[in-house]
Chain A
Amino acid sequence: MGPYTRTISVGAVIVFGLVFALTGARHTTWEALLPLFEWMETTPPGVISQSYGAAFALVEAAHLIAMAVLGGAVLVADGRLLGLILRDFPLRRVLDQSHRLFVWSLAAMILTGVFMACGVALKVYYLNVFWYKMLALVTGVLFVFFVRRPLLRGDVENINPQLLRLVGIASLMIWFSVAATGRWIGFSG
């Protein structure tokens, strides 16, 4: 693909996302996923979640703490990219340390999230907002590991400051959407 492999890949993912969203493929995929969600409720995490409210509450607490830590890591990194906070600390150090925290909290958030989803699999399956959250989460993960991190891994001082701000704003928007749609699930259905 030549020297612009990453740009072409990003473009292809955007086009694929648009085609998927605007055609019948979205509905077909949704229908095909029903057996998976039915099966999820029969798995040990699904049975435990449905039978022991305390277990679900404990896992949900861990999920919310992981989300808070992830939100903190995102706010620190993007706030520094935007030049709003921690301006006395080297950008490289802030980005590296917050990324480490981000990765661990993301792993915890996904593990606890899957556990919780097993308990209410069929409920969330029929909620539009659950799918918006999954879309935001997948976008966030792809954005962090295939766009943001590769950009910031190099010499950050030589990157156009406007681009850094744009990336910071986009990152904040994605994780805001993940958090907002996540809380929305709690008030739906």
Chain B
Amino acid sequence: MKEKNLADGNKDTALAALLAATAVIVGFIIYWADEIQAVREMLELAYG
């Protein structure tokens, strides 16, 4: 029983890490892609 609880706990921690890491990576890509796009548009306005 104790071993099962431990295994469940490890699985929970691993699943939480997978979920959080994926959300962070997706959020990071969206945010910085948006910022880079804004800079490109500004450069285009300035230099054509």
Contact = CB atoms under 8 A, between A and B. Distances in A.
B1 to A, nearest CB: 12
A158 B5 CA distance: 17
Contacts of A177: 28, 31-32
Interface of A (DSSP majority class): helix
A113 B19 CA distance: 30
B16 interface: yes
B23 to A, nearest CB: 5
B33 interface: no
Most chain B CB neighbours (cut-off 10 Å) among A10, A154, A167: A10
Interface residues of B, number: 22
A143 B20 contact: yes
- Top 10 closest A-B pairs, CB basis? A170-B21, A3-B8, A6-B16, A170-B24, A173-B28, A7-B16, A7-B15, A147-B20, A151-B17, A10-B16
B8 to A, nearest CB: 4
Interface of B: 5, 8-25, 28, 31-32
B24 A139 contact: yes
Nearest to B24: A170
B17 A147 contact: yes
A163 B12 contact: no
Contact of A170 (B11, B12, B13, B20): B20
Given A3-B9, A11-B19, A170-B21, A151 B28 contact: no
A14 B18 contact: no
Contacts of A160: 14
Contact of A166 (B16, B21, B31, B32): B21
A154 B20 contact: no
A154 B13 contact: yes
26 contacts: A3-B9, A4-B12, A6-B16, A7-B16, A7-B19, A10-B20, A10-B23, A11-B19, A14-B19, A132-B31, A139-B24, A143-B20, A143-B24, A147-B21, A150-B16, A151-B14, A151-B17, A154-B10, A154-B13, A163-B17, A166-B18, A167-B17, A170-B21, A170-B22, A170-B28, A177-B28
Interface in A149-189: 150-151, 154, 158-160, 163, 166-167, 169-170, 173-174, 177
